Chain A
Amino acid sequence: EVQLVQSGAEVKKPGESLKISCKGSGYDFSTWWIAWVRQTPGKGLEWIGIIFPADSDTRYSPSFQGQVTISADKSLSTAYLQWSSLKASDTAIYYCARHNYLIDWGQGTLVTVSS
């Protein structure tokens, strides 16, 4: 069974850094794209970017380019989404999902940024 298990909820202050994770199991993690998607409270879905763990080929939405960093460690079957300096507007649920059309989803990580 394919599973994507994300790290737990985070509460941070503006300006702090953060790295959340997504661990895949039940399939060959290296050879499937992993995407990150943002959902702000009561709003729709926004595609952040995607990574191919085998070679770390990464694409970003222009809306998120420079604001976040996507990475992956294929030896740990884990993908990451990180911020160097959080803003209140980063408050959202972040999902990871497998493939370019999103076959399997993680359970989501709620990130709250508040002073």
Chain B
Amino acid sequence: EIVLTQSPGTLSLSPGEIATLSCRASQSVSSNYLAWYQQKPGQAPRLLIYGASSRATGIPDRFSGSGSGTGFTLTIGRLGPDDFAVYYCQQYSSSPYTFGQGTKLEI
């Protein structure tokens, strides 16, 4: 089973700043089958990025994904008030399709 470790656990930033979130895998994620999700309180998660770097439909270009193998990054540029949420990475290259433990982005 691939274990995903996200860092930091909590990231405190201000609106307008840039956020960099990390997701490290215990073994290589083949074909870069890595996705990122955003979850706000009381809501279902929302897909942001798939294939490590492809934005999902309707996701603004302030959100970008990068990385390969065992190291992946989600970058959020020019943080807006709506971006403060919990972010999860997920690998879907090898069943079980595991999630990271999440990074809370707070003001």
Report B-chain residues with C-beta under 8 Å of the C-beta of A102: 35, 37, 45, 47, 90
CB closest residue in chain B, given A96: B44
* Shortest distance between the CB of B56 and any CB in chain A (Å): 7
Interface residues of A in 9-37 (CB under 8 A from B): 35, 37
Residues of chain B touching chain A, judged by Cβ–Cβ distance below 8 Å, are 1, 33, 35, 37, 39, 44-47, 50-51, 56, 88, 90, 92, 95-102
Q: Which residue of A lies closest to B54 (CB)?
A: A101
Q: How far is the CB of B25 from chain A (nearest CB, A)?
A: 14
Q: How large is the interface on A (under 10, 10 to 19, 20 to 34, 35 or more residues)?
A: 20 to 34
Asked if A61 is an interface residue, CB under 8 A from chain B, the answer is: yes
A-B contact pairs, 5 of them (CB 8 A): A45-B88, A47-B97, A61-B96, A61-B98, A102-B90
Q: How many A-B residue pairs have CB under 8 A?
A: 59
User: B44 and A107: CB pair below 8 A?
Assistant: yes
A105/B45 in contact, CB under 8 A: yes
Q: Chain B interface secondary structure, helix, strand, loop or mixed?
A: loop
Judge whether B33 and A101 touch: CB under 8 Å: yes
Report the Cα distance A103→B49, complex, angstroms.
Answer: 10
Residues of B within 8 A of A37 (CB): 99
Q: A101-B90, A102-B37, A103-B56 are in contact. Are A47 and B44 (CB under 8 A)?
A: no
Given contacts A101-B35, A101-B47, A107-B44, contact A46 B92 (CB under 8 A): no
For the complex, is A50 an interface residue (Cβ under 8 Å from B)? Answer: yes
Q: Given that A44-B101, A62-B1 are contacting pairs, would A105 and B96 also be in contact in the complex, using a CB cutoff of 8 Å?
A: no
CA distance A81 to B1 in the complex (A): 22
Q: Which B residues are in CB contact (< 8 Å) with A95? A: 44-45
Interface positions of A (Cβ within 8 A of B)? 35, 37, 44-47, 49-50, 59-63, 95, 100-103, 105-108
Q: Which of B56, B95, B97, B101 has the most CB of A within 10 A?
A: B97
Residues of chain A lying within 8 A (CB to CB) of residue B46: 105
- How long is the Cα–Cα vector from A105 to B35 in the complex, in angstroms? 14
- In the bound complex, do residue A44 and residue B102 qualify as a contact, i.e. CB atoms below 8 Å apart? yes
